[in-house]
Amino acid sequence: MSVLFVDSIRFLDTTLRDGEQTPGVSLNPEQKLEIAVKLADIGIDVIEAGSAAASEGERQAIRLISDVGLSAEICTYVRALAEDIDLAADYGADSVHLVVPVSDLHIVKKLRKTREQVAAMAFSAIGHAKDRGLIVELSGEDASRADQSFLCDLFTEGIARGADRLCFCDTVGVLTPEKAAELIPPLATIAPLSIHCHDDLGLGLANTLAALKAGASCAHTTINGLGERAGNTPFEEVVMSLEILYGYQTHIKKEQIYSLASLVSRLTGVPLPVNKAVVGEMAFTHESGIHAHGVIREPTTYESIKPEMIGRKRRIVLGKHSGSASVEAALNERNYTTDATQLKEIVKRIKQLGDEGKRVTDTDLMAIADAVLAIDSKPVIRMRQFTVVTGNNAIPTASVTLEVNGQEITGASSGNGPVDAAMEVLRKSVADVADIRLEEYHVDAIHGGTDALVEVTVRLSKDGKIITSRGARTDIIMASVEAMIAGMNRLLREEHETRGKNPR
């Protein structure tokens, strides 16, 4: 265990209160309960379930969550008002997060009161909450901009009057790690101190860690960093930073982090930014060739967090940056085995798609692999040239030059359309060698859009033998030609091999 921190860092989760104050977010009591159950399960110590004074729905949620008997302490936000405290107690909360403005800006401009009046309200609220049997966390709102000697006096007196814990709120995200190192120690010696940071300048995590290092013993966090404006300090970032960067072992069940993050995102309707630390979609996704290669050989080369630690999996996506190592790994994962030439051709086609601005999905990869693996390395038929003409004043016509058993054959055919003409000219050109018939033709655009990868499947027959063959290109005619030639080669090669065996 690290000597930098208190023995057991606690977590107060305020996803259901500050997180729910994210503009546009509103959770019903059942949704809040679903999240609360998971919060307790992952190891959160205190759940700030809502604000009892806010609405009937909030009160119902607090009642529901308090009644299921979770391992976590159930807390509600209250102002220094007797009616807020009564509601918290009436609806079953264990504790109150008693928030008192402490900066002159808040005391004078917002409340139009004096420091003395605010202190008096706080002390009377503490007394009332203790009378109602509640645990009290006395919280200084806008503490980072407060006169620190006033704050220190208020906290000292608050504890003397029965408050159990304290909280330093960086309400508008203006703390710095240096200021935290200076301001937190004198306060943390008064009583157990929580740190509550906002992420307006992206310093929520850094400030929370600095405050913990300076003696705070509890971090107020939200799942996915939800919260007012730019949000609160993200829970998942604090836990993983403590564990990985400081070697501090938390009591959090880290393997549940991702499923909890996904649940909160789904129920709040706030999507996870793709590049969000720890829980974003791209946090364990690799495309770049050299990086993916490194990660496959040794994950720590480009991963500071093991994805399994938080219940995730590494993903290799293919694109124009993909090297053959990552393509081969992706193919092996899908049970394809390729030789060097086939792999080279697959990589080439993936890069082409990438250059066209496309992301290569699993289905794309498999279609390309099927098509390339169907190409014969020593084909009976090789295509030298292919042209197709179509238009409103032209009969669709295809011409082709093939090399069949080393002999050059050129031909042309018309058809109902360009694909029909192409299929016909290929069939006719090999007619002298073999009578191959096209039994069935099927085309799939793998994704929407006229520039999508097209997969063509053909069923060919020769002397009663039927085979299926595929082609995959962004050009529908070339995909058809590829499928047809691959299929014809298979039929002819099998015939060749059978014939070769006969003399023996």
C-beta closer to Mn ion: residue 21 or 489 = 21
Give the nearer residue to Mn ion in terms of CB position, either 18 or 45: 18
Residues 102 to 121 in contact with Mn ion, rule: CB under 5 A: none
CB nearer to Mn ion: pick between 105 and 274: 105
Answer yes or no: are the C-beta atoms of 173 and 197 closer than 8 Å.
yes
Angle CA 495–433–497, to nearest 5: 15
Residue 198: CB minimum distance to Mn ion, A: 6
Contact 184, 236 (CB under 8 A): no
* Nearest distance, CB of residue 228 and Mn ion, angstroms: 6
Q: Pick between residue 106 and residue 427 the one whose CB is nearest to Mn ion.
A: 106
Of 304-333, binders to Mn ion (CB under 5 A) are: none
**Judged by CB, which is closer to Mn ion: 99, or 484?**
99
Closest distance of CB 165 from Mn ion, Å: 16
Which token pair is 251? 């009591």
Cα→Cα distances 300→33, 248, 329, 401, Å = 38, 19, 17, 52
**Residue among 18 and 237 whose Cβ is closer to Mn ion:** 18
CB of 26 to Mn ion, least distance (A): 17
Q: Hey, CA dihedral for 251, 254, 256, 261, is it positive or negative?
A: positive
**Cβ 261 to Mn ion shortest distance, Å:** 20
Closest to Mn ion by CB, 21 vs 66, is 21
Q: How far is CA 364 from CA 3, 282, 346, in A?
A: 52, 20, 11
Structure tokens at 313: 């999996």
CB of 166: closest distance to Mn ion in angstroms?
15
Closer to Mn ion by Cβ: residue 18 or 58: 18
Q: Which residue has the tokens 């004043």?
A: 393
Estimate to the nearest angstrom the gap between the alpha carbon of 205 and the chain centroid.
19
Between 151 and 327, CB nearer to Mn ion: 151
Residues in contact with Mn ion, counted by CB under 5 A, come to a total of 1
407-414, strands of its sheet edge to edge: 381-389, 397-404, 407-414
As measured in angstroms, the least distance from the Cβ of 193 to Mn ion is 16
Binding mask 187-216 for Mn ion (x = CB under 5 A): ------------------------------
**Shortest gap between Cβ of 171 and Mn ion (angstroms)?**
6
Q: Between 18 and 137, whose beta carbon lies closer to Mn ion?
A: 18
Rounded Cα distance, 487 and 467, in Å = 7
Under rule CB under 5 A, residue 13 binds Mn ion: no
In the complex with Mn ion, which residue's Cβ is closer, 209 or 491?
Answer: 209
469 neighbors 458 (Cβ within 8 angstroms): yes
- How, if at all, do strands 218-221 and 193-197 pair? parallel
Q: Which window, 12-20, 94-102, 407-415, 458-466, contacts Mn ion (CB under 5 A)?
A: 12-20
**Alpha-carbon gap, residue 196 to 52, rounded angstroms:** 20
Residues 14-73 that bind Mn ion (CB under 5 A): 18
- Shortest Cβ 232–Mn ion spacing (Å): 6
Q: Is the backbone of residue 182 left (phi > 0), alpha (psi -120 to 50) or beta?
A: alpha
SS3 160: helix
SS3 134: coil
Minimum CB distance to Mn ion, residue 187 (Å): 18
Residue with nearest beta carbon to Mn ion? 18
Distances (CA, A) of 170 to 139, 179, 251, 388: 10, 11, 25, 70
Minimum CB–partner distance for residue 175 and Mn ion (Å): 12
Q: Tell the burial category of 420 from Cβ atoms under 10 Å away from its Cβ (0-12, 13-18, 19+).
A: middle
DSSP label at residue 395: -
* Residue ranges in contact with Mn ion by CB under 5 A: 18
